């Protein structure tokens, strides 16, 4: 049984300057890279998810001209664009497996994505014999939350590394942390012993 790190959606469109850029996104990307460098030997896989939306249509109602910023959003992370690329502070060379999600539909959890070869995240984790998952990334109150809740639901031991995540809204992020903890997610910090 092994430990796996999942890096959620550390992309240009979700960091400062992007249409859905969160304050602290660039710093979070830098901190995640430093964390991976320091702890990579402790993980059998470092997996990163990316929003990868279709350039055509509204992606199942995910994009809207007048988004409500709850279930509809401005265009973001369209596949192949600069906005869909990893934030430059996240060193992609440190990533072992990439999972793409949201091509033609809304997708928040990394478990809704697939590798370029078509394997689901759950397939990748089973192949890696993962038992424990640490989760970092963007945004605490949306895709980190959805990924962590799905991971617990699938029977994994899950830790969200709180100081390596950043949310859209502070109040919503606090609520998301409480919801995750109530579901069995451990809320940890990068300074915890690994």
Query: What helix, strand, coil percent values describe the chain, rounded to 5?
Result: 35, 25, 40
The answer to whether 73 touches 62, Cβ cutoff 8 Å, is yes
Report how far residue 142's alpha carbon sits from residue 53's, in angstroms, rounded to the nearest whole number.
Answer: 16
Contacts of 182 (CB under 8 A, 6+ apart): none
Q: Which residue among 9, 51, 141, 150 is the active-site one?
A: 9
- Looking up tokens 């092994």, which residue turns up? 2
The two tokens of residue 77 are: 């992370």
Question: What single string gives the DSSP state of each residue in 78-136?
Answer: BTTSGGGSBPTTS-GGG-SEEEEE-SSS---SGGG-B-TTS-BHHHHHHHTTEEEEEEE
Give which of 109, 116, 153 is closest to 6, Cα–Cα. Answer: 109
Q: 169 catalytic, yes or no? A: no
Q: Which residue among 101, 134, 141, 150 is the active-site one?
A: 101
Q: Which residue among 13, 134, 143, 165 is the active-site one?
A: 143
Q: 9 catalytic, yes or no? A: yes
Using the 8-state DSSP alphabet, how is residue 143 labeled? I
Give which of 70, 25, 113 is closest to 62, Cα–Cα. Answer: 70
Q: Catalytic residue numbers?
A: 9, 101, 143
């Amino acid at each position: 049984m092994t430990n796996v790190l999942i890096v959620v959606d550390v992309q240009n469109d979700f960091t400062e300057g992007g249409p859905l850029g969160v304050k602290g996104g660039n710093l979070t990307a830098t901190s995640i890279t430093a964390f991976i460098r320091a702890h990579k030997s402790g993980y059998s896989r470092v997996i990163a998810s990316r929003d990868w939306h279709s350039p055509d249509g509204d992606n199942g109602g995910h994009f809207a001209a007048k988004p409500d910023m709850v279930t509809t959003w401005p265009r973001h992370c369209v596949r192949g664009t600069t906005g869909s690329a990893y934030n430059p502070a996240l060193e992609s060379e440190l990533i072992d497996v990439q999972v793409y999600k949201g091509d033609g539909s809304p997708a928040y959890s990394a478990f809704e994505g697939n590798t370029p070869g078509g394997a689901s995240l759950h397939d990748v984790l089973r192949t890696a014999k993962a038992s424990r998952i640490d989760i970092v990334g963007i945004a605490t109150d949306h895709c980190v939350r959805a990924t962590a809740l799905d991971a617990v639901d699938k029977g994994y031991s899950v830790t969200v590394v709180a100081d390596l995540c950043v949310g859209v809204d502070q109040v919503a992020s606090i609520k998301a942390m409480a919801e995750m903890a109530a579901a069995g997610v451990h809320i940890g910090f990068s300074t915890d012993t690994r």
